[in-house]
Amino acid sequence: VWKRFALALSSLDPTQQQQLLVAGSAVAVGGLLTCYYWVYQGTKTKRIPIGDGWWGAGEKPQSEDEKVFPFQVQTSDEEIQDLYDRIDRTRYTEPLKDTGFQYGFNSTYLKKVVSHWRHQFNWKKQIAILNKYPQFKTNIEGLDVHFIHVRPPHREGQRVLPLMLVHGWPGSVYEFYRILPLLTNSLDSLAFEVICPSIPGYGFSEAPHKQGFDTLAAARVFHKLMERLGFSDYYLQGGDWGSIITTNMAQMKPECVKGLHLNMLTNKMRGFGVLFSILIGRYLPWLVGFTREDVRRLFGSVGFMERNFYEIIRETGYLHIQGTKPDSAGYGVNDSPVGLAAYILEKFSTWTDFNNRDLEDGGLERKFTLDDLLTNIMIYWTTGSIVSSMRFYKENLKTNIDNRLDNNTGVYVPTGLAAFPNELMHVPQLWARAKFRNIYSYSYMPRGGHFAAFEEPQLLADDLLQFVKKVEKL
């Protein structure tokens, strides 16, 4: 190893050698602390308590009504006319010259989106699309929880496995409408019976009436949902909040989770372990367990700090607002449909590709249709759920996140990780192993960003299928 190190060092230019030698002073200490980190982490608990809760209005009754009842999205001419009236009264602000989406949603392009919404978009037609999959509600912990439940058509010799897909913010179950047929109507030897719940406070699920509903509460509610539907073990898939909720589900009841597949990864590895790999990894990736693709995604041409730290600061202003005073900002976008569209669609632009910030149209129609984007907006608008969805950030961030039990608990169920190149931050497999102790597959996806199921449904479906086949030994 040291011979390879010396050869690699001699191949660098003087500036790189100096940077590496400065970093090398931390090698011994960093290595020892990294070893300690892994040993320490190995002593952590392997599950988190399930707990219980009541989020409905009033006091908890003696017994819960466990009925599951059908649900369909509906509208009225009055609801649509109210939308049109509000759109027609919109007051726009002219954008600064040559700013693209750097200041947020460009109002020149916003006018085009709103014109399509007002004159071409057909909400009743989109409702028919929403209702093409069976939808239901059931009351869990005082909340009417909405979910889609799609069973595959019977095919001789095909194995069917239960799968829950969980969305995030500012998405909804509609993100999964392009991937659902790929998972449920497959000609492969394996298909899925898919359950897609709306997170309480999002879309068609009732919002909590009490403080404290976080990802742990959502995880418990979704386990109860699967139990109520008659499933004892199942697969989970998630991105954004969905990745954290499904991870919590795996930590909470690992005996029920056959496998966990994520398209947004969280970094549990911290301190000198990460610092050491960042300092050394760009020059000697093999020494810290990085691949060339890890180096490309972490450092790019601008360096780690620019590609990760500064980019994250630029893109997380919303998180601080929603994690501290969600209601203040939420009231405005809950009252203005155009304000709501600008606030949400800007995320579908930038989180798909940071380079979209330089475009006047934000690159929105490169991956999505306006009808699809506006359908997601209409789910928030017609249910009035934007404020409660924003509160979810405060509930999860108002306590010291380092003291949350799930943050100090490993994940031991079979895990598949799909790393999309335009995700907000890249997490190498080396870092992922600190939390996910049983990784069956780690895939460098060829394209796509934060909204994987919405952007690249075929890629996500294929990666999920190969992961499940590995777990099932098919």
Please report, in tens digits, the pLDDT of each residue of the chain (474 residues total).
445 545 555 665 666 555 555 445 444 444 434 444 443 444 355 899 999 999 999 999 988 899 999 999 999 999 999 999 999 999 999 999 999 999 999 999 999 999 999 999 999 999 999 999 999 999 999 999 999 999 999 999 999 999 999 999 999 999 999 999 999 998 899 999 999 999 999 999 999 999 999 999 999 999 999 999 999 999 999 999 999 999 999 999 999 999 999 999 876 656 567 778 888 888 888 888 899 999 999 998 777 777 778 888 899 999 999 999 999 999 999 999 999 999 999 999 999 999 999 999 999 999 999 999 999 999 999 999 999 999 999 999 976 555 566 778 999 999 999 999 999 999 999 999 999 999 999 999 999 999 999 999 999 999 999 999 999 998
Q: Are 141 and 224 in contact (CB under 8 A)?
A: yes
Q: Which residues are catalytic?
A: 240, 393, 450
Q: Long-range contact list for 279-288, CB < 8 A, 24+ apart?
A: 279/23, 279/26, 280/20, 280/23, 280/24, 280/27, 283/8, 283/12, 283/16, 283/19, 283/20, 284/5, 284/8, 284/20, 286/4, 287/1, 287/5, 288/430
Residue 105 CA to its chain's centroid (Å) = 21
Residue 31 has a pLDDT of 45
Residue 30 CA to its chain's centroid (Å) = 32
Detail the DSSP E strand segments found in 88-189: 135-140, 143-150, 159-166
Residue 36 CA to its chain's centroid (Å) = 31
DSSP state of 198: P
Residue 8 has a pLDDT of 54
* CA distances in angstroms from 262 to 167, 239, 251, 463, 469, listed in the order given: 11, 6, 14, 10, 16
Nearest to 422 by CA among 290, 246, 263, 241: 263
Residue 11 has a pLDDT of 60
* CA distances in angstroms from 135 to 72, 168, 447, listed in the order given: 6, 19, 31
Q: What is the largest CA-CA distance in the chain?
A: 76
To 5 degrees, how large is the angle CA 238–CA 242–CA 244? 105
Where are the alpha helices (H) located in 229-336, listed in sequence order? 241-252, 272-281, 285-288, 292-299, 304, 311-315, 317-324, 326-335
Residue 37 has a pLDDT of 44
- Token readout for 32 is 């020892």
Instruction: Determine the Cα–Cα distance for residues 149 and 39; give it in Å rounded to an integer.
Output: 42
Residue 22 has a pLDDT of 47
What b/e readout covers 447-473, taking b as 16+ CB neighbours within 10 angstroms? Answer: ebbbbbbbbbbebbbbbbbebbeebee
Detail the DSSP E strand segments found in 167-275: 190-197, 234-238, 257-262
Q: Are 178 and 362 in contact (CB under 8 A)?
A: no
Residue 25 has a pLDDT of 46
